[in-house]
Every structure is written in structure tokens, then in C-alpha cells.
Structure 1
Amino acid sequence: MKIIIQTPDFKAQPELTDFVNEKVEKLALFSDRIIESRVLLKIDKSDNKENKISEIRVVIPGNDLFASKQAKSFEEATAKAVDALKKQIEDWKRN
């Protein structure tokens, strides 16, 4: 599975991209039909402390899955989005 990480608002540290890669790679354990995952990390321009957004699109033939989560850190937002996608993949496999 190919993983594409985009950070339009900032330059991501290697530790962050490594964390995102590690989390998103685990989705491949749930389905071998995943072609790629596209991760968009962005900062919400609000006064809210939970202003880090992680959007993940998982490309599966005939069906893309998507999750977007917001939290205080990119790591937390990414972990929440990956958990949501695990549930979506399990539902998709049942149908």
C-alpha cells in the first residue's frame, strides 16, 4: 500500500510522518485490497486548542473510504481517524 502525506500549512517533522506512516500502514492488515492511503494534515485557523485536523482517504477499487478527525495534536487526530477507518473497512468487508 502506498501512503501519501500532505501538509500544506507547515513542514512536518520526520517523527510526525513516521508516526502517521506507522498508524496508516496498520490498515493494510484489515484488507489487502487497499491501493493507497492519502493523508492530509492541516491546521484549523480557529482559537480552539483542538485545531489539528487529520483527513485520511483510503483508496479501494470501487470504493473510497474517508475519515476526518480533529484533536489537540496531529498524532491524536490521526489515531482517531485510523480507528474510524478500521470500522469502515470492517463494515465494507461485510457487505
Structure 2
Amino acid sequence: MRLLADIFLLIGAAFTFLGALGLLRMPDVYNRIQAGTKAVTLGSLSILLGIALLFPDWWSKLLVIAGFILLTNPIGSSTIARALLVAGVKPWQKSGEGVEK
């Protein structure tokens, strides 16, 4: 059980790292929101599962935390994206072929 928990903790750490890397590497705020939301949500849920396997007495608390993450992350990211769109922040477009200036 310890090995499985460690695997989930490593997967969670990897996805969290990739989400943070996406925040640095993506070209605009809309892509950054997507990278932060999707990767970090999966990473944090994997970390919670790894912790739950290590400490079985904490299942109920970790389940509440996971529900909170699954409920608030998509709502928060879509609200931020909508506010940016209303504020007039334009999505990034690659300049090159097929794009008129």
C-alpha cells in the first residue's frame, strides 16, 4: 500500500509541477488559466489520494477537500476567464499565415 501511495504522490507532484510550468510558459492569460486549473486539479486530487492511502483514517476529511477542489476550481477559472473577456482582454493569436493585421 505504501508503494501505491508513493506513486500517487509522485504523479500528483508531477502534474502540479507541470501546471506551474504551464503558468510560466503559456502565451496569454486564458491558456494560463487552463493549465493551472486542469493540471493542478488532477495533481492535487492525486496527492489527496496518496495521502488517503497512507492515512486511512483521514478518508472523510480528504473526500470533503477533494469535493471542494472539484467544485471551486472550474467555477473559479471560468469566472476569471469571463471577467477578463468582459474587461476586453483579447485571446492570443499567432501572427503568421492566415492572420490579417
Determine if the TM-score, normalized by the shorter chain, exceeds 0.5. no
Structure-2-length-normalised TM-score: 0.28
Higher relative contact order by CA 8 Å / sep ≥ 6: 1 or 2?
2
Greater C-alpha radius of gyration: 2
Structure-1-length-normalised TM-score: 0.29
